[in-house]
Amino acid sequence: MASKIEIQVPVERQKAAQAAGNFELADLPGALATPSAAVRVGKAVKQDKALKTVRSLNGITKLSPGQVIANYGKSESKWASAYQKRRAGAAEFHELLSYARQIIGLDSSGQLLICLMGHAGQGPCIPLWVPREEVTLTVQPNDIILRFDDMTFDW
């Protein structure tokens, strides 16, 4: 009988000097607007708002193999949208995902991974998945945390 792999990613709540303002899932471009689950972070746990599928941030940060979580603030959302416009609506999913503040995944073997993808529109977006023993998701008020299921790590 196979054991079920699940890892809870710890969350660190930072106080933003100034909240960037609200934005909605619909403000995210392309497939970013249709995650498997999403939560908007509040100033306190009680103020978190479930946007899709889960009831709380804990529901998103409990990862099973093939799941990826990404953190978007309003700035990251704007940058991804601007990139989508420059690409005439044809940006690839991983290119849009690359604008996330943090990207954390769990592969099929139960290995925790972080994805490093820096390009800032300056060239090709090359994902690099790096194994980590432990990872902390860092969030600020008004961030939207997305989870995508059934992901592979070979793109």
More confident residue, 123 or 133: 133
State the distance between the two ends of the chain, measured CA to CA, in whole angstroms.
Answer: 31
pLDDT tops 60 at residue 84: yes
The mean pLDDT value for 87-114 works out to 93
pLDDT band at 88 (very low <50, low <70, confident <90, very high): very high
Beta-bridge partner residues of 41: none
pLDDT of amino acid 1: 47
The pTM for the full model equals 0.91
pLDDT of amino acid 125: 76
pLDDT of amino acid 124: 74
Q: Which two tokens stand for residue 56?
A: 């709380």
pLDDT of amino acid 119: 60
CA distance 115 to 128: 6
Three-class secondary structure of residue 13 per DSSP: strand
CA distance 61 to 73: 17
pLDDT band at 117 (very low <50, low <70, confident <90, very high): confident
The mean pLDDT value for 124-136 works out to 89
Parse the chain into domains and list their residue ranges.
Answer: 7-148
What average pLDDT does the chain have? 90
Three-class secondary structure of residue 6 per DSSP: coil
Beta-bridge partner residues of 153: none
CA distance 49 to 57: 9
